[in-house]
Amino acid sequence: MIIRIMGEGQFELPDDSAEGLNALDAQVESAVESGDDDAFAAAFAQLLERVRAHGAAIADDALVDSDLVLPPSDATVDEVARLLGDEGLIPG
């Protein structure tokens, strides 16, 4: 499973690590929906940390697309909501 953290690069994670990620992902998701800054910051930081800790960085010159994508580590809850809501926000 390949996960991109925007602004940091791609990480390869063993498929069985998805379990722990899903719970945190769900917390982030509901925090984004309710616009809860604190809950978002806490869950998002843990999610990023887990991906970095369990993942191996993919070489810069590898051309592979990711299964999952995470927003930049300094993104706010509003920014993530906009990233998800409006496709036009992501360039390309």
Phi, psi (degrees; rounded to nearest 5) at 73: -60, -25
For 5-28, give the DSSP string: ETTTEEEE--GGGHHHHHHHHHHH
Query: Does residue 62 sit in helix, strand or coil?
Result: coil
Applying CB under 8 A, among 13, 55, 71, 77 the residue interacting with other proteins is 71
**25 binding other proteins? (CB under 8 A):** yes
* Shortest CB 87 distance to other proteins, Å: 5
Applying CB under 8 A, among 6, 45, 53, 56 the residue interacting with other proteins is 6
> What's the DSSP call for residue 87?
G
Q: Which residues of 12-28 are buried (b: 16+ CB within 10 A; e: fewer)?
A: ebeeebeeebeebbebb
Applying CB under 8 A, among 15, 16, 19, 87 the residue interacting with other proteins is 87
* Shortest CB 1 distance to other proteins, Å: 10
Return residues touching other proteins (CB under 8 A): 3-4, 6-7, 9, 21-22, 25-26, 28-29, 32, 59-72, 80, 83-84, 87, 89-92
